[in-house]
Each structure stands twice: as C-alpha cells, then as structure tokens.
Amino acid sequence: MSTIAFLNIGMHGHVNPTLPVVAELARRGHTVTYHTSPAFRAEIEAAGATVHLYPGGDQPLPEPLMPLTLMEALARTAVRLLPAVLADLRGIGPDLIVHDSACPWGAVAARELGVPAASSYTTFAYNRHVPSPTGASLDLLAAATARPRTLLNHLRRRLELSRRFDARGVPSLDLGNTREPLNLVYTSRAFQPAAQDLDGSYRFVGPSLGARPKDPSFPAGMLREPVLYASLGTVFDADPRLLRCFAAALAPLGGTVVVSTGHTDPAALGPLPANVIARRSVPQTEVLDRAALFVTHGGMNSVNEALYAGVPLLVVPQGADQPLVARRVRELGAGLSLRTREVTEESVRALARRLLGEARFREAAATLADAQRAAGGYRRAADELERHLRTARPVGRPAATGPSRRG
C-alpha cells in the first residue's frame, strides 16, 4: 500500500468533498496524511488520516475577499508554509500528493519531493465558459490598477516562491487554478459547462458524499411534507432579514420549512411561523433527501448535494462562483435564480410556487441526479488516485536536503 498526502486550504467547501475520499483510501489500506488548519482536525482524523497542522493556526480569508487579494494571499501563504510543510513531508515520504486547486504549496511540495501529484477541484473546472477567478482578465487588471500595492506584494511573493522552491508549472497569476496531470472534479460531466473543452486529465467523479454522523439533536421526526429547505452556507455571513424573508415566504407552501442560519444566531431572525425550524447547522444531506425544494446561495457543494438528491433549486447567489452555478442550474432547467436585491416575500414565494408546481423542474433535477450518481463519487475518486499512483511520473526531481534547493 502507498502513502498519500493531502494538502488543502482551510475552507469547508474545499475540505468536505475530500473526506469521503480519505476514508475510502484508508479503508483500502493506504496511509493517508492531511495538512490542514486546526478547525478541521477532528473531522479529518475521523476520516482516517493523520493530521499535520499548518504553523500559525487557522488562516483567515483575505479582506476584502476578491480575486486579487486571494491571489496575493495564496502566494504569501505558500512562501510561509513551505519550509515546515516540506520538513513534514520529507519525514512522511509520500508516494502521491493530492492538493486543492487553490493550494499552490501542495504543487510546489510535489515538485520539490519529486513525487506525482493530483489536483482537487471543488468548483467547476475552469475553461472559456467558466473563467478562473484568479486568471488574467479585465476585471483583474482593473483591480490591480485600483490596488497596485496588493499586486506588487503578489509579484514579490511569487518571485520569492520561484527563487526558493521548484515552482515549475505552477501558475504565475492563476494560483486558484493549479492543475496537475490528474484533476479530480467533484461534479458530473453533465453539470460542467462545456465539458468537451477539457482534456482527459479532468475526471468528473461526481459529488463526494460519504456517510455522515447523525445529529441526534435535529428533530428529523418532526419534518412534515413537503419539506422546504433554505441555507446560505457558511462562508458569507447571512443577513438575518434575508433568512427571515425565506422563512416567511416558504412557510405557507411547506409542511416544514428548515432554515440553516450558519454563522447567524437563529434568534436574530425574530419570531417565525410555527412550521419553521431554524438552526445554525442541520444535517444537510438528510434534509435534502426529504426536501421538495432548496433555496440556496449556490455554493458548489450544496448544489451538487441537492442535484444528487434530485431537488429543484432556487439559487440566490452571494458571491464567488455562485452566479456561474446559478446560471448553469437555469440552463439545465433544474431551478431558477434571484438576485439578492430582488428578494422579497412575494418574489421568493412566486418562484417557489413555480418550482413546486411545474413538473419540468423536478424532471430536470431527476435527470441530473442520475448523472451525479453515475459519476461514481468518492469510490471513483479513490480509483482514479490509485490508477494515477501506478502510472504517473513524478512532476519534479527530489530536492536536496534542507528546506530549499535554492537557499
């Protein structure tokens, strides 16, 4: 059996899809290690990996969160983390490194150690229809013009990365799109826009949904049909007024309305209709298995999970890649979307009525559910990694002793 090292950024949306893959690889007898932030230690250990923590604790997202600041933060983080990460990995001796597409230090570590690498895409794979947020664009140029110091800091860190480490093949700008000879994409080919534009290195393995521990505190026995579910995820702080609007709009249409409030205190929503359950966290896949409708921010993992369950969607994008996800949901007929500024009780209720009443939305969601399930999920991802272990060539040469070949 082999030793497989995972490296990731500290965001639930990027870590969660890898956990069932880690568990499957461990079940097959591989030794799995995982470099992560302290906030994810318990769940990664529960999946069967040995955790190695990044120095410095949990890494906050850059402020403001935008492609340029993300690009600079990734370059800076790579330079800071690599000496410690490489010291750990030299002791581990991995046969394969699996890193997130927005984790350039994972790619550099593979090149320094001379071992094969695979990249993990928890978003769409990027192409002409889905531009990478950190790719060269007019928007990025405008941001650089407005924030020249941020751009200069990025260029300095990126130059330092190349000077001190083997960064061959790692993008100069597009650090959120760090590709490898094998790129795992956690959605189906049917949901990926313009999948035909992508080469064979991209393997669409579908949603990675492993067994999740039951939440005994969640009143699953109280759910009454139809179950309507609303959540705006965990990255963006949800406006209590927006969540309250969803609850009020859906309550007359549902047997039970479940609202996940994330970082927002449910008490901030004020009095709610009697058939609304509002909690910071809910067992999402369990609720989606019962749901007739999902009102969502359009986070990729949430949408993949809903489509896996065949649930029509009302997408209210909050940022990042969510407008692209909303557009794809509309294109494929599996749901509708609404801009945040257009949200009112009346607008939400009107679209929810359409999604519940028009069979075409359920039929499109069911078609996508078939594609999501057929993609193979975490078992297919593990198969692809094992195949890559057998056939891949190293992406660099083994590094000399010490934290860097270049001093």
Mind listing the pLDDT tens digit for each residue in 48-78?
999 999 998 877 778 888 889 999 999 999 9
- pLDDT top residue among 383 and 135: 383
- pLDDT top residue among 398 and 47: 47
Alpha-carbon distance of 6 to 92, in angstroms, equals 12
Q: Do domains 3-206+375-391 and 220-373 have the same CATH topology?
A: yes
Q: Give first-to-last CA distance, the chain, whole Å.
A: 34
Give pTM, 2 decimals.
Answer: 0.91
The β-bridge partners of 231 are: 260, 296
Closest CA to 42 of 213, 177, 298: 213
Mind listing the pLDDT tens digit for each residue in 24-33?
999 999 999 9
| Superfamily classification of domain 220-373 | Glycogen Phosphorylase B; (3.40.50.2000)
* pLDDT higher than 70, residue 406: no
**Burial (CB count <10 Å: 0-12, 13-18, 19+), residue 310:** buried
Predicted confidence band at 404 (pLDDT cuts at 50, 70, 90)? very low
- pLDDT top residue among 396 and 263: 263
Domain definitions of the chain by residue range:
3-206+375-391, 220-373
* pLDDT higher than 50, residue 401: no
Alpha-carbon distance of 97 to 7, in angstroms, equals 8
- The mean pLDDT value for 286-308 works out to 96
Return the H-helix or E-strand segment holding 222: none
Q: What local confidence, expressed as pLDDT, does residue 403 receive?
A: 41
Q: What local confidence, expressed as pLDDT, does residue 96 receive?
A: 98
Predicted confidence band at 396 (pLDDT cuts at 50, 70, 90)? low
On whether the CB atoms of residues 355 and 314 are closer than 8 A, the answer is: yes
Mind listing the pLDDT tens digit for each residue in 190-246?
999 999 999 999 999 999 998 777 788 899 998 999 999 999 986 566 789 999 999
CATH of domain 3-206+375-391: 3.40.50.2000
* pLDDT higher than 70, residue 405: no
Does residue 281 sit in helix, strand or coil? coil
Mind listing the pLDDT tens digit for each residue in 122-180?
999 999 889 998 988 888 889 889 999 999 999 999 999 999 999 999 999 999 999 99
* pLDDT higher than 80, residue 306: yes
Q: What is the mean pLDDT of the chain?
A: 93
Does residue 394 sit in helix, strand or coil? coil
- pLDDT top residue among 1 and 406: 1
Does residue 296 sit in helix, strand or coil? strand
